[in-house]
Every structure is written in C-alpha cells, then in structure tokens.
Amino acid sequence: SCPDLFEQIGECCYYFSHDHTSSGVTWYDARTYCQELGTLLDKPIDLAEVGTTNNKCDDLKLMEIIGTSKAQHTYFGGSDEGHEGTFQWKYSGQKLSIKNSLWYHDRPLHGSHADTSDCLLAAIWGDYARAYFTDWSCNSHYQFVCQIF
C-alpha cells in the first residue's frame, strides 16, 4: 500500500502535485521536491517514469488520470538535455524511445524550439481521453508527478 498523499496505480505509488497545490514549478524544482519527499519518507522517490518497472505500473491508467485532472500540463522525469533527441529517464537511466505510443503525434520537437525543449511534459491535446508526452522548456512552471521506485 502507498503512504499518505500517494495514489496507487497498478503496483506503483504516485504523488500528484495538482492534488496538493495549485502552483506549478520548474522541472528542476519538481525533481528536487520529489527527491526531498523521498528523504522525508525514507524511500527512493523521483519524478515519474513510464515503461521502466517491468509492467508493474499501469502507464496508460496514469496518463488517463493526468488527462482527466485539472492539471493541463504535468512534468515527468525524462529529459534530452545535453543529448538532443535522446530522451532518458533520470532515475532509472533507461531511454524513452521517440517511437513510444505515449508521444503526441508530432513530438518530440525537432524544429526551431527543439534546443530549448528538453524536459518531458504530459499534456492534454484536444478531446483525447488521456495525456500525451511532449518535450517542453524545463523552466516553465507546471504541475508534476512523483513516483516511489
């Protein structure tokens, strides 16, 4: 079972910042917040990842929950900072394929904004029932989701 403030999806525990505050933070501050939460709970916690836990988590359910939340944009723990076009999960070190079905159809960005869009963001597009990934500025202020690993 998950600690207080966390929600269980599949066999994984998540902390959704939009359930606890209305203000967003940068990707870097979100990551620090998750790690400090882990220190307080004596558990390994970082920004959430998908596809890195051998199907113990329900990644599609996670994206559906974000898609139906009040948070239109939610940071996850992936980045291509320093290696443009190669997205890597910061906690596990595993790569997120740009062919993954969780990317929005024209993402990640490869055009003029690609060099400043380094952090992984789940966003709601149109009338879709779940959120999809895009790469976005790490310095924008958005909600985030932490995961216990």
Q: Give tens-digit pLDDT for 113-134.
A: 556 789 999 998 777 778 999 9
The percent of residues in the chain predicted with pLDDT above 90, rounded, is 63
Distance from the first to the final alpha carbon of the chain: 13
Q: Give tens-digit pLDDT for 45-73.
A: 999 999 998 879 999 999 999 988 767 89
- Per-residue pLDDT band for 146 (boundaries 50, 70, 90) equals very high
* Cα separation, 140 vs 63, whole angstroms: 20
> Is pLDDT larger for residue 1 or for residue 76?
76
Q: Give tens-digit pLDDT for 66-96.
A: 988 767 899 999 999 888 888 999 999 999 9
User: Which residues are paired to 133 by β-bridges?
Assistant: 103, 122
Q: Is the peptide bond before 3 cis (omega within 30 degrees of 0)?
A: no
pTM of the model: 0.91
Work out the average pLDDT over 85-114: 80
* Cα separation, 55 vs 69, whole angstroms: 23
pLDDT at 115: 60
* Cα separation, 54 vs 68, whole angstroms: 25
Three-state SS at 35: helix
**Ranked by mean pLDDT, which of 5-14, 15-24, 113-122, 127-136 comes out on top?**
5-14
What are φ and ψ of residue 81, in 5° steps? -60, 125
- Helical H runs in the chain? 27-41, 59-68
The percent of residues in the chain predicted with pLDDT above 70, rounded, is 93
